[in-house]
Structure 1
Amino acid sequence: MHNTSKDILVSVVVPCRNEAKYIEICINSIISNKLSDQIEVLIADGESNDGSKEIITELAKTNSNIRLINNPQRLTPFGLNIGIENARGKYIMIASSHSAFQQDYIPTLLKELQELDADGIGGIMETKILNSNKTSEAIRIVLTHPFGVGNSYFRIGIKQPLKVDTVPFGLYKKSFFDDVGLYNTKLIRNHDIELSKRALALGKKIFLTPSTSCTYYARETFSKLAKNNFKNGFWNFKTIYITKKLSSISLRHFVPFLFIMSLIIPIILGLIWSKFFILLSCLSLLLYTIFILFTALKIDKNKTSFFKIICAFAVLHFSYGSGSVIGMFSFINLFKK
């Protein structure tokens, strides 16, 4: 039976491009939610060529509430906006092709959205991997550790509902997007937190709840982790330039940048003036190494190794930080134009 717009309570928007490895897991978890007959799944596909569209089409044959929408621009913020514009539900939830959800995820968010009088709400994000090995397990660990992700509460967990600056896969009243607007399509990265910051500036309330959780499937190799986080770091300064607001992102996004600069600036000063400055760079690296060693010693290494955890932390921090440094120079060049 094909549900009418009156039957749809929640529209789940999933941007997708070449995610054949993950998209079926994501969709099945959504339609397995307890309100499945009142949920539609809108997959905004960015012209995938890896079989993703075929997988989605097959799933849609058995469930009319799965809808495949073309995203000719291919990029995530465009896909999100296309999904939101086509949504028929009273509420809109944002998902990722790499995400999966507990059966009570959507019902719990709906309930607590009302109880907390929130405009948006999301659950704790559990980081997992599909293929377990020492490298992927180390990556999973550092992406849930405060030394790896700072005060990202949705990653490290909370004990009671908390007002936050952003949630990963949140549920929102449809009117939220009428008031705040859609995702900024100029932002290939950071479009999610920029939207949240825009909402907070308008007095909207976004909550994180520990009552339910979702799953995010992380990259499983150091090279993929580095590539993804380099891009994330690169877009920090560009986000500020595009939005003209320093508040578009959070302070925690600049910590790896400051660390990398603590290595680079003393070396430059040492080459220009005194070699003494190079010692400051060495000191910064030494303190980082000591801290990372002690942190790794305290972590349960049952499925991975001490060496792999050290590598995962280093790859995460150096790739993100160096991406921010390169992004800074790009930012400076944009101002010169």
Structure 2
Amino acid sequence: MMLTSLSPTTPAVSILIPCRNEKDHIEGCIRSILKQQAPEESYEVIIADGMSDDGTREILQRLSEEDPRIRVIDNPGRIVSTGLNEAISSARGRIIIRMDAHTSYAPNYIQECIKVLTESGADNVGGPWVAKGAGKISCAIAAAFQSPFGVGGARGHDPNFEGIVDTVYLGCWPKDVFAKHGPFDEELVRNQDDEYNLRITRNGGRIYQSPRIRSWYRPRGSLRALFRQYMQYGYWKVRVIQKHKLPASLRHLIPGCFVLSVICLPLIALGWFPAIWAWGGVVGLYGLLNLLASISTARQKGWGLIWVLPIVFACYHFAYGVGFLRGIWDFVVIRKGPQEFFTKLSRQTASHS
């Protein structure tokens, strides 16, 4: 893919940031983006504000007055997918790069996005999804986030993997990809990036990951917030699968099957006692795998995390599984719209899916 020449006043690259109520983070995020090693092409920064009411909008207005590269637009839908669509419609660049207020970036992040997009010819490129915590719980959540046991071996969490993946963190696209594949699905409060990447691959496109594109995601800081976040991921994954008639990967089905077996086998045992042995086998095997993964992760990330990691792994798996089963109930069995609990983001932001 080659960039065509543009007039000096037209940016070649549009950086998009959906946000809502980010007064503590948004200024630092934008200033760090403006300090990036400048790409050869000119760029603009578009912030789609989800009608913030905590002072974020005033900060954005001040920043946009200081630097003409910054533009602020409204996102009345107040969620990521609507914010992205508003920003894409407003973007003037030939390349679209999505960034997030809760992520820090290598100084050459924008440069590498453009280089990898050009070299790979892919429809979407990005770097590995790497978490960096602050505090014991957050660091344990981040450590489990990079563990194959924690995320089912997803290559997108491998900081060293380069190649074709089924989805990628954030993203960098030629703008004409959105003319070809359509906008983000505004029904989805979560998983809209997964759904869009699935749509691209189902239509013959490619998603490419490169470790040269480096960023560090800040995970949730409590087990309660993590549990709610992953319940929502599991819940909305059902809607994505329902729309496309099949999952992007079998790993998306495993937590739901696991939680279903933990719930149902004791009930089956009321009429057929041997089922309790099957339940014990499932729970025992999971406990063993959890313990081994916790030891392996603590050996790499620090032994101080060993007492927290088993609980963190269980939060990831049980929350996703419970959310997935509730999604099946709401979307498939009773065919009812999403419940309010699953439409409100678990962090007071609309900046990441």
TM-score, L = length of structure 2? 0.87
Deviation at 1:54, TM superposition (A): 2.6
Distance, in Å, in 2 between the alignment partners of 1:157 and 1:183 is: 26
* Partner of residue 113, structure 2: 109
Moved more, 192-201 or 92-101: 92-101
**Equivalent pairs, count:** 329
Distance, in Å, in 2 between the alignment partners of 1:97 and 1:26 is: 5
Amino acid of the structure 1 residue aligned with 2:83: G
Deviation at 1:151, TM superposition (A): 2.7
Distance, in Å, in 2 between the alignment partners of 1:181 and 1:70 is: 21
Superposed counterparts of 1:237-248, under 5 Å: 237-241=238-242, 243-247=243-247
Runs of 5+ consecutive residues of structure 1 not aligned to the other structure:
none
Distance change >3 Å, CA 276–CA 303, structure 1 → 2: closer
* Partner of residue 211, structure 1: 212
1:184, 1:195 within 8 Å by CA — same for their partners in 2? yes
Deviation at 1:335, TM superposition (A): 4.0
Distance, in Å, in 2 between the alignment partners of 1:195 and 1:80 is: 12
Runs of 5+ consecutive residues of structure 2 not aligned to the other structure:
1-5, 338-353
Deviation at 1:176, TM superposition (A): 0.8
Superposed counterparts of 1:50-89, under 5 Å: 50-89=54-93
Residue 11 of structure 1, aligned match among 8, 14, 24:
14
Residue 25 of structure 1, aligned match among 28, 34, 50:
28
2:104, 2:216 within 8 Å by CA — same for their partners in 1? yes
Distance, in Å, in 2 between the alignment partners of 1:285 and 1:25 is: 45
Counterpart check, 1:155 vs 2:157: yes
Distance change >3 Å, CA 199–CA 244, structure 1 → 2: closer
Counterpart check, 1:198 vs 2:199: yes
SS of the residue 1:126 aligns to = coil
1:135, 1:304 within 8 Å by CA — same for their partners in 2? no
Counterpart check, 1:286 vs 2:288: no
Moved more, 94-103 or 177-186: 94-103
> C-alpha offsets along residues 49-78 of structure 1, whole Å, 9 cap, x if unaligned?
222223322322322211111111112111
Distance change >3 Å, CA 82–CA 29, structure 1 → 2: same
Amino acid of the structure 2 residue aligned with 1:166: T
2:102, 2:218 within 8 Å by CA — same for their partners in 1? yes
Amino acid of the structure 1 residue aligned with 2:52: S
* Partner of residue 262, structure 1: 261
* Partner of residue 275, structure 1: 273
Distance change >3 Å, CA 334–CA 31, structure 1 → 2: farther
Deviation at 1:312, TM superposition (A): 0.9
> C-alpha offsets along residues 9-61 of structure 1, whole Å, 9 cap, x if unaligned?
21111111123333233322322222268221111111122222233223223
Distance change >3 Å, CA 303–CA 14, structure 1 → 2: farther
RMSD: 2.2
Amino acid of the structure 1 residue aligned with 2:234: G
Distance, in Å, in 2 between the alignment partners of 1:209 and 1:239 is: 25
1:29, 1:102 within 8 Å by CA — same for their partners in 2? no
Distance, in Å, in 1 between the alignment partners of 2:191 and 2:8 is: 31
Distance, in Å, in 1 between the alignment partners of 2:97 and 2:233 is: 23
Moved more, 108-117 or 75-84: 108-117
Distance, in Å, in 2 between the alignment partners of 1:93 and 1:225 is: 27
SS of the residue 1:125 aligns to = coil
* Partner of residue 252, structure 1: 251
Distance, in Å, in 2 between the alignment partners of 1:150 and 1:123 is: 18
Distance change >3 Å, CA 4–CA 62, structure 1 → 2: farther
Amino acid of the structure 1 residue aligned with 2:26: I
2:131, 2:145 within 8 Å by CA — same for their partners in 1? yes
Amino acid of the structure 2 residue aligned with 1:95: M
* Partner of residue 297, structure 1: 295
Deviation at 1:257, TM superposition (A): 1.0
Deviation at 1:211, TM superposition (A): 1.5
Which one has more relative contact order, counting CA pairs under 8 Å at least 6 apart?
A: 2
1:119, 1:206 within 8 Å by CA — same for their partners in 2? yes
SS of the residue 1:50 aligns to = coil
* Partner of residue 186, structure 1: 187
Percent identity for Structure 1 against Structure 2? 33
Deviation at 1:100, TM superposition (A): 2.5
Deviation at 1:336, TM superposition (A): 8.3
SS of the residue 1:188 aligns to = coil
* Partner of residue 123, structure 1: 127
